[in-house]
Amino acid sequence: FILTALARATVESYLESEGKVTEKEVRDFYENNKTKFIDEKISARHILLKSKKEAKAVLKEIKAGGDFAKLAASKSIGPSGPKGGDLGSFGRGQMVPEFEKTAFALKKGEVGGPIRTQFGYHIIEVTERTGKKPVPIEKVMPQIRQSLIGQKLEAYIKNLQAAAKIEIKDPRFAISGE
């Protein structure tokens, strides 16, 4: 308990002095990382299938001119199947990473896949893209500040660990072989 309180006091003391993050640091981070703060949304539909073989067959049908919505309604095992596979509009961070990576790489009207996720194999069609607008700094300042505080704190703790010299004087706590 005493060590925990001491550690907490050390961290709090650091955060009140050197660990503070200035508004300039936040603004600089935002300016240097603008691509991380883009509000981009897409609308898509998908067909979820159990096997890669099935997914490849359905993709072949679509590429041959098959109707995506009808194929989704008749073949998809996902809950959006009856709605033609429509997933609506979504932004980054709302879908599983494998799905999101492919969906955001597709152009409007383009079909991609099959993509494997924990749910099965997906065929994806992007139906709409809404602009890549930068998120205003005011909306992301708190997250940037927290991230920068975390980075500073992590560096501070690493420095403390590197500078620490620990001696065990009580033989009951000595590591054998020393």
Q: pLDDT tens across 120-172, in order?
A: 999 999 999 987 788 889 999 999 999 998 898 888 888 888 888 777 777 77
CATH fold of 40-132 reads Chitinase A; domain 3 (3.10.50)
For residue 48, is pLDDT > 80?
Answer: yes
Classify residue 61 by burial, with Cβ atoms within 10 Å: 0-12, 13-18, 19+. Answer: middle
40, 130 Cβ separation under 8 angstroms: yes
Q: What is the three-class DSSP state of 91? A: strand
- The CA distance from 59 to 62, in Å, is 5
pLDDT tens track for 63-75: 999 999 999 999 9
Q: How many CA atoms lie within 13 A of 112 on its CB side?
A: 17
Domain with CATH 3.10.50.40 in the chain: 40-132
How does pLDDT run across 82-121, given as a tens digit for each residue?
999 999 999 888 999 999 999 999 999 999 999 999 999 9
Tokens 């890549």 sit on residue: 132
* Token couple for 159: 């420095």
pLDDT bucket at 177, cuts 50 / 70 / 90: low
Supply the pTM of this predicted model.
0.60
Q: Does position 176 have pLDDT exceeding 70, yes or no?
A: no
Residue 167, pLDDT score: 76
